[in-house]
Chains A and B, each alone.
Chain A
Amino acid sequence: AQSVAQPEDQVNVAEGNPLTVKCTYSVSGNPYLFWYVQYPNRGLQFLLKYITGDNLVKGSYGFEAEFNKSQTSFHLKKPSALVSDSALYFCAVRDYQTGANNLFFGTGTRLTVIP
């Protein structure tokens, strides 16, 4: 069975400080991992993905994430937070082993960047 855990419901960070949003996962085989961001009354927007290759992936708006197989983690990071980064962030996994095409999402982390 596949699962995604986002242990923090809420993350607060001061503008200009680095931010981290945590994600751990569980799948039967090799994972495909994703981060999406959701703004109010808008659909999910893709930020970045890990499929294979370099463990550090870079995405939109200056975000990056590091795949750590031993810790089964895929934490989202940004060196310097902006107020406009305040939103709801979802980690998701696709279990390649099962052949399923759908994504399995975590429960989300609300990021608030304080001016």
Chain B
Amino acid sequence: GAGVSQSPRYKVAKRGQDVALRCDPISGHVSLFWYQQALGQGPEFLTYFQNEAQLDKSGLPSDRFFAERPEGSVSTLKIQRTQQEDSAVYLCASSLVSLPNEQFFGPGTRLTVL
């Protein structure tokens, strides 16, 4: 079956622009995670959804970052007034609630803020 998909794969934004990154999880996967991977670093947790409920947003670096999953499927990560330090690869992962240790990752969106 299809894996986790993310779009766009690449995004270039001018500093100050708003961006929206989309994640389509594996069908039936209730849990959804967003991670940020800076160049040369490991992924860092941003936020976690179970269905449409955002249960953990402790990793969001500032109030410019906002994530939603209104119907419990597709999720969007929005970054307002982008800054150069937001440049990173944004990874989405999904899993079954019954198998929380089987996270499947998408290919990521590489965001470059100029």
A interface with B by C-beta (< 8 Å): 4, 32, 34, 36, 41-46, 49, 51, 90, 92, 94, 100-108
Q: What is the interface size of chain B, counting residues whose CB is below 8 A from a CB of the partner?
A: 25
Nearest B residue to A34 by beta-carbon distance?
Answer: B101
B4, A43: Cβ atoms under 8 Å? Answer: yes
B107, A42: Cβ atoms under 8 Å? Answer: yes
Name the B residues within 8 Å of A108 (CB-CB): 40-42
Most-contacted residue by chain B among A101, A102, A105 (CB, 10 A): A102
Instruction: Give B61-113 interface residues, CB cut-off 8 Å to A.
Output: 91, 93, 100-108
A101, B91: Cβ atoms under 8 Å? Answer: no
Most-contacted residue by chain A among B41, B93, B105, B106 (CB, 10 A): B105
B105, A101: Cβ atoms under 8 Å? Answer: no
Question: Nearest chain A CB to B31's CB is how many angstroms away?
Answer: 6
* Pair count A-B, CB < 8 A: 56
A46, B102: Cβ atoms under 8 Å? Answer: yes
A46, B56: Cβ atoms under 8 Å? Answer: no
Name the A residues within 8 Å of B108 (CB-CB): 43
Name the A residues within 8 Å of B100 (CB-CB): 94, 101
Query: Any chain A CB within 8 A of the CB of B8?
Result: no
B101, A102: Cβ atoms under 8 Å? Answer: no
A43, B105: Cβ atoms under 8 Å? Answer: yes
Name the A residues within 8 Å of B103 (CB-CB): 46, 103
A34-B101, A41-B107, A43-B106 as given contacts; A107 in contact with B45, CB under 8 Å: no
A100, B56: Cβ atoms under 8 Å? Answer: yes
Name the B residues within 8 Å of A105 (CB-CB): 35, 42-44
Name the B residues within 8 Å of A34 (CB-CB): 101
In the bound complex, CA of A102 to CA of B56 (Å): 9
Annotate B30-62 by CB proximity to A: 1 below 8 A, 0 otherwise. 010101000011111100100000001001000
